[in-house]
Structure 1
Amino acid sequence: MASTALISNRNDVLAKDPEDDSKPRRLTYKNVEGPDKEILEKLYLYKNALIEVFPGSILIPPGFKEVGERILDLKVRQDDTWVISYPRTGSTWTQELVWLLGNNLNFEAAESIQHQRAPLLEMSALMSNEGDIMGFLDNFGNSVDIVDNMPSPRFIKTHLPWHLLPRQMETVKPKIIYVARNPKDMCVSYYHYCCLVHRMTGNSFEEFCNLFLRSRTPMGSFWEHVFQFWERRHEPNILFLKYEDMKRDLQKEIKNVANFMGMKISEEDVLRLEEYLSFGSMQKNPAVNLQPLMSTLRGNDYMGAQDRPNFIRKGKVGDWKNYMTPELATKFDKWIADNIHGTDLSFD
């Protein structure tokens, strides 16, 4: 489908209340029903693991009901910098680069957990399953409160689609850096992430892929998410990045992001950032690898267990070949071709 057929304006989705043209409609929620309910409960091992958010038909953990309206009403600041992506596209990697550029390459301060200095806006909702929510709130606080109370300039990350972001994004126009990734690699990484963070059963890869292809994994349609920002990529406050470009030439993309942020950077600093942001460095870095969070919520032995992946797992382009059958890869290829037909978006 052509991207113009997808959402080009948040008001196409956040429709007006028919009784009051000045009042945007609020969010509504419902439990997932039918065959998808059975599949999701089998994968996630507990009931009502995800709810459906309207408008947009987005699946997300149930804690989003507590923060969804607050996020829509959140005040956006002109000097904010937002890193936005569908999950598992390199956003943690990108956010670390963005935060360091915005904080004069303060590597010492970057030793603190990324979520505390550059929080994931909806993190409280993502950790809202029965076993995690109180532990998360007690140790890390409500993520929307954290963002709301941060001093400027703020560096914020989110995986929410455009129409679930604060309404003021449309008018205030803060800097937005969007990261996209080949959906075949992204889906493999997302599967492992859901096994790690959402306790999904680890023998359900093909079933997860089929849900993803039908937009029935958390955050909904991959294509609507991506095209909402691809269509805006020429706006001066938006930079659209691809994971594969960062892997191919990180130095070039470091300079690209620095230029977008209005930062002057020396060749020496580019090399320092390249080393700091290398896969080996990131995987071992407790400020970004989710080890402290998982240890706090689930014990010191939770991550790194034989049957459990690391949060920063492989960082490779083309790793889907090690997981997808030829039949599944063909199904993905057709799905990709159908959705980018008539657009100028492509993936390596």
Structure 2
Amino acid sequence: MASTVLLNKHNGVLTKNSEEDTKPKRLIYKTVEGKDRDIIHKLYNNPNALIDVHPGGILIPTGYKDMGECILDMEVHPDDTWVVSYPRTGSTWTQELVWLLGNNLNYEAASQIPQHIRAPLLEISAVMSNEEDILGYLNTYGNSVDIVGMLPSPRFIKSHLAWHLLPKQMETVKPKIIYVARNPKDMCVSYYHYCSLIHRMNGGYFEEFCDLFLRGRTPMGPFWDHVLRFWEKRHEPNILFLKYEDLKKDLQKEIKKVAKFMEKSLSEDEISKLEDYLSFGSMQKNPAVNLAPLMSNLRGEDYMGAKNRPNFIRKGKVGDWKNYMSPELTARFDKWTEDNIHGTDLSFD
């Protein structure tokens, strides 16, 4: 079943769907049925791993129903800085840049305090609700929505939720929002590996996972609904739209862009040091961002990076999809992308 579309295109022009233009007053949760339920059962050994959230037809792990309305109603602060993205688009990388810029380049704190504590993912308690080991660890600090609510200002918050599922006050308070997007082919490959690693998804079903993704039925919902909603808002003064490929191509340039948006001044030496800290090699080795200590503690020292399992920060390459997708699947992705970005001026390398 097709999901509700947040944006409609008429004659190549984006127009708002009036039914989805404002935050919903309440959410409706439905059981996933039919073909999608069968595939989810095959992938996760649990036909009830995800729930169908409306409006939007967005699949999210079941714990979301305990916090969805709380997120909609939560207080937003004017001095918040949010990093929002679809999963596996470089949000951990971007959040580290944002947190450092907002905390006077405090590398000592950044290396000692895990990112999920100092700049938490708002809905992480829901995302991990099927992973008892990880959720048990996270809950020692409390529900992630409550944790964000107790953070001292200025707060640095990350989320993978679609625009209409974010707090209602985002529309009126207008905190700084940095949105990061990525070529969906690379993103989908990375998401597949992430689900295999963190959510212990059964391997060998890459094409089934891609089919779900193309139909908007992977966790966090339809990709283009997510991205285009923020692309439409990119000219608003409190929103900065970034692309993963641009960060890879010229990190110094993107550091300067984010610093300007956050009203932070940096010397050339500071930019060079920040670029080095944010390099792929440094990020992959940094235990504060790569989840290695947590996963080693919960699932054994050899869980990450061994037994054919990737690291949380996996490859960081542009174009890695070529190693995974058949010509037929590539053509399907390309047609799907062309259909969705036509008339939007959005493009990906």
Q: CA RMSD in A?
A: 1.6
Give 2:234's aligned residue: 233
Does the residue aligned with 2:140 lie in a helix, a strand or coil?
A: helix
| Separation in structure 1 between the aligned mates of residue 15 and residue 130 of structure 2, nearest angstrom | 31
What amino acid does structure 2 have at the position aligned with 1:284? K
Deviation at 1:145, TM superposition (A): 1.0
Give 2:4's aligned residue: none
Does the residue aligned with 2:312 lie in a helix, a strand or coil?
A: coil
Give 1:281's aligned residue: 282
- 2:27 is the alignment partner of 1:27: yes
Give 2:136's aligned residue: 135
- 2:327 is the alignment partner of 1:326: yes
Gaps of 5+ in 2: 1-7
- 2:13 is the alignment partner of 1:12: no
Q: Name the CA shift for 1:141/1:4 in 2 (closer, same or farther; >3 Å).
A: farther
Give 2:177's aligned residue: 176
Does the residue aligned with 2:273 lie in a helix, a strand or coil?
A: helix
| Separation in structure 2 between the aligned mates of residue 334 and residue 273 of structure 1, nearest angstrom | 38
- TM-score, length-normalised on structure 2? 0.93
Deviation at 1:307, TM superposition (A): 2.1
| Separation in structure 2 between the aligned mates of residue 220 and residue 147 of structure 1, nearest angstrom | 23
Gaps of 5+ in 1: 16-23
What amino acid does structure 2 have at the position aligned with 1:12? D
- 1:1-348 equivalences under 5 Å are 2=9, 5=14, 7=16, 11-12=20-21, 14-15=23-24, 24=25, 26-111=26-111, 112-129=113-130, 131-132=132-133, 134-348=135-349
Give 1:21's aligned residue: none
- Which stretch has the larger CA shift, 287-296 or 111-120? 287-296
Q: Is the 8 A contact 1:124 1:133 kept in 2?
A: no
Does the residue aligned with 2:21 lie in a helix, a strand or coil?
A: helix
What amino acid does structure 1 have at the position aligned with 2:40? L
What amino acid does structure 2 have at the position aligned with 1:83? V
Q: Is the 8 A contact 1:6 1:224 kept in 2?
A: no
Deviations 1:120-172 (A, max 9, x none): 00000011015336523443431111100000000000000000000000000
- TM-score, length-normalised on structure 1? 0.94
| Separation in structure 2 between the aligned mates of residue 6 and residue 338 of structure 1, nearest angstrom | 16
Give 1:19's aligned residue: none
Q: Is the 8 A contact 1:32 1:52 kept in 2?
A: yes
| Separation in structure 2 between the aligned mates of residue 122 and residue 134 of structure 1, nearest angstrom | 12
Instruction: Report the number of matched residues.
Output: 339
Deviations 1:263-318 (A, max 9, x none): 00000000001100000000010100011332343333321222211110000000
Does the residue aligned with 1:239 lie in a helix, a strand or coil?
A: strand
Q: Name the CA shift for 1:92/1:243 in 2 (closer, same or farther; >3 Å).
A: same
Deviation at 1:36, TM superposition (A): 0.7
| Separation in structure 2 between the aligned mates of residue 131 and residue 228 of structure 1, nearest angstrom | 33
What amino acid does structure 1 have at the position aligned with 2:63? G
| Separation in structure 2 between the aligned mates of residue 325 and residue 132 of structure 1, nearest angstrom | 36
Query: Percent of aligned pairs with the same residue?
Result: 72
Q: Is the 8 A contact 2:60 2:219 kept in 1?
A: yes
Q: Name the CA shift for 1:64/1:98 in 2 (closer, same or farther; >3 Å).
A: same
| Separation in structure 2 between the aligned mates of residue 302 and residue 6 of structure 1, nearest angstrom | 46
Q: Name the CA shift for 1:265/1:130 in 2 (closer, same or farther; >3 Å).
A: closer
Does the residue aligned with 1:227 lie in a helix, a strand or coil?
A: helix
Q: Name the CA shift for 1:321/1:44 in 2 (closer, same or farther; >3 Å).
A: same
Deviations 1:174-204 (A, max 9, x none): 0000000000100000100110111111111
Q: Is the 8 A contact 1:10 1:162 kept in 2?
A: no
Give 2:3's aligned residue: none
Q: Name the CA shift for 1:300/1:227 in 2 (closer, same or farther; >3 Å).
A: same
What amino acid does structure 2 have at the position aligned with 1:60? I
Q: Name the CA shift for 1:79/1:209 in 2 (closer, same or farther; >3 Å).
A: same
Does the residue aligned with 1:178 lie in a helix, a strand or coil?
A: strand
